[in-house]
Structure formats: structure tokens, C-alpha cells
Amino acid sequence: MTLDDFTTTIADAIKSDPEFRSMDMPFHLGIPPADQAGKPMVPCVTLDGLLCIDDKIGTWTGNLNLWGDDMSLSFIQLSQRFLRILDGTSIVQTSGFLSRPEPENAINRSLYPVRFYITA
């Protein structure tokens, strides 16, 4: 699997879930894109913090981030749903997520440390 295959698989997994599909949840590398005023365009999923642990067997780590503007408990429920989506793929290993709310910016984020295996 290549990095392109990995990102396509994650994007397809997001689109396969009816709730995420109804929110038109885009997938980006890096940080969420911003609108003209500089406010992040959420909800979305991003991938950042990529690190190649062992280039001989293709072990990589990174962070998948679920972004939203919902500061309520329903965002945690959505985060748990996204964890189940990740667990349903055969390419990602994760053991949970960290909640990273930014109330001063009215942005909520769940961070999923992941490990995956890709080739060049």
C-alpha cells in the first residue's frame, strides 16, 4: 500500500458511514482549510504528524484529527463513531482518541494516534 492508497482508504471509510457522509466530511492533509476570515472550515478530518519509524517494513505513525464546531457531548459521541470506523479498516491501528477542545476558538478536535504500514 502506498501513502496515496492509505489516504484514499481513509477517505472512502469516512464516506461509507451514513452520518459522516450526510455531513459531507472532507479529508485533508495537514490543518483544516480556512475561509476568507481565517476561521477553519469544519467539520473535517485531517492527517498530520507523519513519521516513518522503519522504512524497511513501511511502519508509519501519524495523527488523524476529527475537527468540528460542536462543543457538546454529541461531538464525543461522533468521535467514538469515528473510532469505530477506524477500527473497521484493516490498515490502521489505534487505541483510542484524545479530546482537544479549543473553546476560545469554538473548535473541537479529537486526535487519534495511529500506526499504519505503507510502502514507497
pLDDT, tens only, 52-102: 887 667 788 999 999 999 989 999 999 999 999 999 888 889 989 999 999
How many structural domains is the chain composed of? 1
Residue 4: phi and psi, rounded to 5, are: -60, -45
Cell numbers at residue 44, please? 473535517
Residue 91 domain flag: yes
Q: pLDDT tens-digit profile of 12-65?
A: 999 999 998 898 888 888 888 888 888 888 899 999 998 888 766 778 899 999
Where residue 61 sits, what CATH number does that domain have? Answer: 3.30.2000.30
Choose among 117, 118, 82, 115: nearest CA to 97. 82
Q: Give the residue numbers spanning the domain of 18.
A: 3-29+40-117
**Collapsed DSSP state (helix, strand, coil) of residue 73:** helix
What pLDDT does residue 63 have?
A: 95
Torsion, Cα of 17, 44, 48, 7 (10° steps): 40
Residue 107 domain flag: yes
Residue 35 domain flag: no
Choose among 97, 94, 92, 82: nearest CA to 116. 92
Question: Could you tell me the pTM of the whole model?
Answer: 0.88
Give 42's DSSP letter. -
State the chain's mean pLDDT as an integer: 89
